[in-house]
Chain A
Amino acid sequence: MIVAGIDVGSLTAKALIMKDGEIIDFDIITVRPTPVQSAGDVMEKALNKTGLKMDDLDYCVSTGYGREQISFSRKSISEISCHGMGAHWCRPSIRGVIDIGGQDCKAIIVDKDGNLDNFAMNDKCAAGTGRFLEIISKALGIDLAELGPLTFKSNNPLKIVRRCSVFAEYEVIFLLAEGKDVTDIGAGVNEAMAQRAFSLASSINLNNKLTGELTVTGGVAKNVGVIKNLEKLFDAEIVSLPLDPQIMGALGAALFARRYYEKEVRV
């Protein structure tokens, strides 16, 4: 049985192919002008490496913003379910997933089978997303990659009070003008970011109801300072995944494809 998952996001498109329950290939590309083009290109790329053709796929499920427009996928599933399912497959003891991407932040609770139990997603606002870290690191004049480690260098992280990204940027500029240390401001930013994700997770009681392991996915998973602060807030270890966290959506979609294939096609 060969199944595929395809995840067309706002910045990247991902495809993952599974054969008999094993991942045989995956690929990530930056998005093309339309979701249909992105999906076609990334799938082509993934298939090409394995020597398979589109016709060889028994079932394909799509997820991500462009999920409904992909003609070769038979079903679409929200990326919230897919992220939970993908992370759970990587480590079956995972029950909580915090996904912090470029424009979204999601807190996800899954059951013992990886099915969605509860979730929260931020409303239309850049506060608490990767975009927020981008804006702030620019204001601090440092590389996005340099921001995370500041948490470990600072002895006195400064409090960033404003929730809104725009106002938080003013606040940071003001702190700089006051002559405050970039290290302490950066550490404060990581703390504020973690606090926001923690608040979102608390709205579905993820902090108290966690019955297994917790992981963080999405680009912000690469910020060690945010991770450190989240561990402190949750008073729990944030486990890392054996695969690129970016591929979790496509992996989850492939797992759903396998499930639907068994349910609908095989019988």
Chain B
Amino acid sequence: MAIEELIRIGETIYNKYIDDWKKEGKRVIGYTCSYAPEEILQAAGLLPIRLKAIGSSETSKADVYMPKFHCTFSRHLLDQGMSNAFDFVDGIVFVNSCDQLRRMYDVWNKLVKFPYQTIMVMPYSYDKEDFEWYLEHEVKKLKSDLETAYGAKITDSSLSESINIFNETRNLQARLYEMRGAKEPRINGVDTHKIITAATSMPKKKYNELLKASLEELKKRPGITDYRARILIGGSMIDEPELLQVIEDAGGLVVADVLCTGTRWTTDKVETDGDPLYAIAKRYYDHQPCPRMTMVYERKRDFVLDQAKKNQVDGAIFSKIAFCDHHSGDNVLYQEDLEKEGIPSLLLDRDYRITDVGRFRTRIEAFFEKLGK
């Protein structure tokens, strides 16, 4: 079954699809943030794979270089890099996502060497000059750097081809989200999350085929009705859906999210008319923003409210990885704004991985009890 296959792939760092790709003599490129313009990487003939620290259980190697108050995602990622978990990639594109990942890159750059390794700078604000600077200095530079590093030629037609494939991925994922957010969802939040994550762990073309088949399989499934509460989740990025698992084990159902590793990646597509490189730059700069972007709180808030209402949620759970400064600010504000709409929220601090399930379960069950569910 296609669904089971995608769920399985969503739990992997390396898998047979990456292996097959490499066996054909083709190259793989890693990236760390949803702000990395994957379409350009693919147009260079590379397979873009988002680096995850799935299964990482300790950070002892990274802890030598990064203090305890550094975010655990950065530390797990660095630790995995230092442990050779990503040796299957031929290069990496980082983004100045936040201060934590930027500082981690400094250490990475010294300790974990890949033939091609760069950090793209995404401006923090939406001034016109900022976009022009980003297009000229970052996007065009990435294109020419990739051409030099890999002896590839990135043409308008290879860019357009990859735009079409990625837009198709986003369309199919939007349909999956619709099924998850239905009155009687045909799929739970944990499985949805793994299927969405699988898109970042295999070639998109193959992924689209499997997702299309999965959507057909889902249509035959009965709807889920035996749940306590419909929940929206938001906050820091999530790779392994441990938090969603705790929510759903406690009887809740995650029917919506505002994660960068989820709905926020799917929502905005790349324009298909006009200069493809410009269109890609525009999409990555303008897409539904991460809390890192400044002066756009209303846009972020409206997105949260829209998702909450559209999917008829009973409550929202916002979590942040400890010491994540961006999400710590926004989560509290979202809570206040949702409260005004009669939707209560629970705020949680967590590590990149959740290991002390009991404490999370207590708070989540109490939250359901507070909702009267």
Contacts and interface: CB of A to CB of B under 8 A. Distances in A.
Q: Do A and B come from one complex?
A: yes
Interface of A: 65, 76-81, 104, 115-119, 121, 123-124
B338 interface: no
A118 B370 contact: yes
6 contacts: A78-B362, A80-B363, A80-B369, A81-B369, A121-B363, A124-B359
Contacts of A79: 362
Given A123-B322, A123-B349, A116 B359 contact: no
Interface string B332-351: 00000000000000001111
B356 interface: yes
B366 A116 contact: yes
B358 interface: yes
A119 B348 contact: no
Given A78-B365, A80-B363, A119 B370 contact: yes
Give the 5 A-B CB pairs with smallest separation, nearest first: A80-B366, A123-B349, A78-B366, A78-B365, A81-B369
A116 B322 contact: no
B366 A81 contact: yes
Contacts of A121: 359, 362-363, 366
A119 B370 CA distance: 9
A37 B186 CA distance: 39
Contacts of B359: 104, 121, 124
B329 to A, nearest CB: 15
A116 B370 contact: yes
A116 B359 CA distance: 18
Contacts of A124: 349, 351, 356, 359
Nearest to A124: B356
Contacts of A78: 362-363, 365-366, 369
Contacts, number: 40
Nearest to B367: A119
A80 B358 CA distance: 13
Given A117-B370, A123-B322, A124-B356, 8 more contacts: A77-B365, A79-B362, A115-B372, A116-B370, A119-B363, A121-B359, A123-B348, A124-B359
Contacts of A117: 370
A116 B363 contact: no
Nearest to B368: A78
Contact of B362 (A80, A115, A118): A80
Contacts of B362: 65, 78-80, 121
A131 B370 CA distance: 28
B127 to A, nearest CB: 36
A78 B228 CA distance: 15
A128 B366 CA distance: 21
Nearest to A203: B347
A10 to B, nearest CB: 9
B366 A65 contact: no
Nearest to A77: B369
Contacts of A115: 372
Nearest to A116: B370
Nearest to B348: A123
Nearest to B356: A124
B25 to A, nearest CB: 47
A65 B358 CA distance: 7
Contacts of B369: 77-78, 80-81, 116
A115 B363 CA distance: 15
Name the residue among B322, B350, B358 with the largest chain A CB count within 10 angstroms.
B358
A152 B370 CA distance: 38
Contacts of A80: 362-363, 366, 369
B134 to A, nearest CB: 36
Contacts of B349: 123-124
Nearest to A76: B365
Contacts of A116: 366, 369-370
A78 B363 CA distance: 8
Q: Which of B358, B366, B369, B370 counts the most A-chain CB atoms under 10 A from its CB? A: B366
Interface string B297-327: 0000000000000000000000000100000
A65 B356 CA distance: 11
Contacts of B358: 65
A124 B372 CA distance: 26
Contacts of A119: 363, 366, 370
B23 to A, nearest CB: 43
Contacts of A104: 359
B348, B351, B370, B372: most-surrounded residue (chain A CB, <10 A): B370
Interface string B24-65: 000000000000000000000000000000000000000000
A115 B369 CA distance: 8
A188 B322 CA distance: 28
